[in-house]
Structure 1
C-alpha cells in the first residue's frame, strides 16, 4: 500500500497503529511496547518537548541506547515536527557535542546512560533542555529539565512538509569533523513507497534490528516494520552467541545486517543447512557481499528471499537492490561479489571516468540524482567534490567504482577514494590519520585496510616515537566512535615511497596482511 499524500515519515507508524494497535511495535528482550502504548507515549513526550522549550525545537537529539527512550524518542521527535538527531551514548563526548552544535539541537531526550554522559557533552557553556522520560535518575543541576506533563500531550502529530528534515545522521569527515546529512520527509516518502511495492511485509512479520539507530540502515528496519504493523526486535549482545536460536525464539521473519554476520555464524558453527527456517526475507548492506556467503546463507535460510542492498546515507538508506538467484546471479558477479542491482525508479545515474566526466564506458564512478538524494551536507563546504552539477541538476558522486553487467544491473568493483566500509560504517581513512597526528609523539600516520575473519579491518602505520597500542587506542577513543578504531597499530621508522615519491599505500596494505611476530 503506497501512500500518495502526506509525506510525513511518522505516517508509517500511524499506518502500523491502525493495523496493529495491540501488537508489539518494538520487542526489547522480555518487554514489548505496543503500537498504542508507543503512540500515546510519543504524543506525551512530543507535547512536553514543545511546552518545555522557549520555541518549538527545530531539532531534537535522542541520546539513548536501544530501549524505550530511543525508539519512542525518535517517534516523539517526529511527532513534534522536529528533525530527529539520533546520538550514540558510547561516542566520545566531544564528537557528540559537535553533532549537537552542528545540527542546532534545541532539546535532547535521554535514557540513563545518555543522562550520565550529558554533563561531559554539554560542558559548562552549552545549554540544551533535557527530557528524561522514565529514567530513574534525577536530572542534575545545572541541566535544565523538561517536565513530563500529561496536560501538554499532543492530540495528533504536528504537520510537516516534504522539504522539512525528518532526521539527520552524521558520517565520517576527513578533517575530524563529522559531516551532517539531512534526510527530508520527501526523501523518505519516495524511498519507503518504493519498498512497499517491492516487499510483502505484513503485521505478522518480526524484523531484526542489528544496526544502531544512528546508522541509516536502522531506519529501514523501523519504518518498513512500522509501515506494515510488524514488530522490530532488538538484538541483545548475548543473542549473537546463537543467532538461529534467537530467531526461533522470536519467530523472526526478516533479517537485515552487514555481510559480516554471515562470517560470524560460520565461525560459530551455526551456518548449517536449514538452521534459520523462519526467515522470509534476508537483507545485507554496508559492505561488499560475496556470492559464496550468500549461497551458504540461503542454504541455512531456505525459505528466505535474499537481497543485496546498496546505498550511501546521502541517498536515503539504499538506492539499489539485487535479488539472489542461484542460477542467474553467479553469471553477473565480478570477483566473487554479488551485484548491487538497478537504481531505484525515479532516479537517473551515470558513470564518470577518471577525470570526473560522464562516460559511455561500462565501468566508472557511480553518480546518481533523484528524489532520495539529500539536498546537500549540513555544512555546504562539505559539498565540494561530492555534489556536482550536470545537465542543470545536482548529482551525488558516490566514490564507488561500478561496472554494468550485460543485463544492465550494476556490480560494485571497489572504492575510488580513501573512504571504506567497516562493519557497515563509512569511514574516512583521513579522519583516523588526522586524529592520530594529534597524539603526543606521533609524527605522521597512514591507515590501510585488510580483510579479516569478521570483514574489513583497519591497520595503522605511524612514525615518531614507538607507543603502546593500548595508549594509542585510548587516545583515539577520546575522539572517535568505537567502529572507527583500528584493529592494529604498527610503528615504522619511515613510510615506503613509490616511484613518484608519494607514500606507497599499496605496499603498506600488503604489509598489513603479514602477521608480525614478537
Structure 2
C-alpha cells in the first residue's frame, strides 16, 4: 500500500528516508478529496519489490516520469488500439504485469488473465478470447513445444508476440514465429529498476540467428532517452526510465556507478555491444561461478549441454563445488554426455551430476525456477 498526503506525493513512510526529489510523507489527514489530485513527474507511481533471488527483496519505487517515458515508447512502437486484447500471464507482484495493464488502459484495449488451466489448450483459449498481444516469459515456448500437437499455426490471432523475464533462445523464437505466423516476435529486456523493459530486439529469421551468443537472442537497442556503458563487462544504464533509488537507502550500496558526472544503474547483467550498437546478453554476473579454480559462465555450460545429442534443454547450477545439470530430452548415460561435453568445455567445468526431468519447475511467473533446482542439487550428495 502507498500512503499519500494532501499534496498527492506518495511513499511508504514506515520504511523511512527520503527519495531523490520525493518528500517523506506522513499519514493523510483532513476531509475526503472532492476530486483526484494531479500527480507530478517526481511522485511515486507504484512500488514493487524485487524477487529476492539474489538476496533480500528490495523495494523499488517507480516514478510517474519513469512510467511516462516507458509508455510513450511502447505506444509509439506498437500502435495499440481499442481492438487489441492483451494476455496477462504475469503475477501482479512482478513488474512485467504493469505492461499488460497500463498498455491496455492507455489504448482502450482489453486485458484477459490467463489462468494456469488455460495452458493445456492455450491455442483454444487465445482464439476464444481473440488475444492479439501476447506477453510472457520465454519458458512457455519449450513447454508448449513438447505437446504431441506441437505449435505450428496455433496462434493466428496474434499480431504482437513479446517475451521478457529470462533469456529467449533462438530456436524458441523460431518455434513461436511458426506458431504465430501473423505476429511480430520481439525480445524485451529490463530489470524492475529500469521500469518494466529498457531494450528490445525484433526477431528476424534471416538476420537474428547469426547475431546470437550461446543461442540467446540479442536484447537489442535501448529505448530513446536511455544510455548505456559497459563497466568491466557489466551493463550499466541511465536515463528517463531509471528509478531514483531503493526504499531502503542501504540497498543502494553497490547498485549504482558514478561515472563521468552521471549516475548509472548497475544491472548485474553481462553484455557485449555489436558493431551496430545492439546489445547481446552474456549472462548474469552472479551466474559466473568458479569450479576447480576455473571461472565459468553458466550460460556457456547450458549452451554446450543443449548441443549434446538428445538434449532439448538444460539448466546448470552449482552445488558442493561441482556443477549439476538438469536436462530435458532423451535419457543417456552420464559418461556419454561427459564425453561429448569434453569437445566443447574445459574438463574442470563439465557437470559431475546429471538429472533428467519431464519439465523444469516454474515459478509464479512461469520462469524457470532456478532457486528450486539449486535446492534440489544441494540436497543430493
Same fold flag (TM > 0.5)? yes
Q: Does 1:255 align with 2:201?
A: no
Conserved? CA contact 2:16–2:248, under 8 Å: no
User: Which position in structure 2 is the counterpart of 1:369?
Assistant: 238
Q: Aligned to 1:486, which of 366, 372, 378?
A: 372
2:83 aligned residue (204, 214, 217): 204
1:490 and 1:309, CA in 2 relative to 1: closer, same or farther beyond 3 A? closer
CA shift for structure 1 position 198: 0.7
Q: Distance in 2 between matches of 1:303 and 1:180?
A: 39
User: Deviations 1:314-337 (Å, cap 9, x if unpaired)?
Assistant: 100100000011111112111211
1:402 aligns with 2:271: yes
In 1, Cα distance between equivalents of 2:202 and 2:127: 24
- CA 1:277–1:386: 2 relative to 1, 3 Å: same
Q: 1:10-47 deviations in whole A, cap 9, x for unaligned?
A: xxxxxxxxxxxxxxxxxxxxxxxxxxxxxxxxxxxxxx
Please give the alpha-carbon distance, in whole angstroms, between the structure 2 residues aligned to 1:174 and 1:302. Answer: 35
> Offset of 1:453 from its aligned partner?
4.8
User: Matched residues in 2 for 1:309 and 1:269: separation?
Assistant: 29
Aligned length: 302
| Alpha-carbon distance, 1:175 to partner | 8.8
**1:172 Cα deviation after fit:** 4.0
* 2:148 corresponds to 1:240: no
What whole-Å deviation, never above 9, does each CA across 1:111-139 have from its counterpart, x for those lacking one?
xxxxxxxxxxxxxxxxx99xxxxxxxxxx
- CA distance 1:275–1:165, shift in 2 (3 Å): same
Match of 2:223 in 1: 344
Q: CA deviation at 1:159?
A: 1.0
Separation in 1 of the partners of 2:156 and 2:212?
27
In structure 2, the CA distance between the partners of 1:288 and 1:490, relative to structure 1 (3 Å rule), is: closer
Q: Distance in 2 between matches of 1:161 and 1:451?
A: 49
1:110-189 alignment to 2 at 5 Å?
156-173=35-52, 177-189=56-68
Corresponding residue for residue 3 of structure 2: 57
1:417 aligns with 2:296: no
| Whole-angstrom distance in 2 between the partners of 1:371 and 1:206 | 28
* Greater Cα radius of gyration, structure 1 or 2: 1
SS at structure 1 position matched to 2:3: coil
Contact 1:271 1:297 in 2 (8 A): no
Counterparts of 1:256 and 1:247, CA distance in 2: 12
SS at match of 1:486: helix
Q: Which residue of 2 aligns with 1:278?
A: 157
Distance in 2, matches of 1:284 and 1:391, equals 33
| Partners of 1:404 and 1:484 in 2: CA distance | 27
Partner of 1:333: 212
**Equivalent position SS for 2:119:** helix
Distance in 2 between residues matched to 1:269 and 1:84, nearest whole Å:
50
1:373 to 1:413, Cα distance in 2 relative to 1, 3 A = same
Contact 1:262/1:271 (<8 A) preserved: no
Tell whether the 8 Å contact from 1:311 to 1:318 is kept in structure 2 after alignment: yes
> Judging changes above 3 Å, is the alpha-carbon distance between structure 1 residues 336 and 160 closer, same or farther for their aligned structure 2 residues?
same
What is the CA–CA distance in structure 2 between the aligned matches of 1:244 and 1:103, rounded to whole Å? 48
Pick closer, same or farther for the CA change 1:413–1:157 going to 2, 3 Å. Answer: same
Query: Could you tell me which residue of structure 2 aligns to residue 378 of structure 1?
Result: 247
Q: 1:484 to 1:169 in 2, by over 3 A?
A: farther
TM-score scaled by structure 1? Answer: 0.53
1:58 to 1:292, Cα distance in 2 relative to 1, 3 A: same
Partner of 1:293: 172
Whole-angstrom distance in 2 between the partners of 1:254 and 1:274: 16
Unaligned runs of 5+ in 2: 18-26, 290-318, 330-367
In structure 2, what is the equivalent of residue 138 of structure 1? none
Q: CA RMSD in A?
A: 3.4
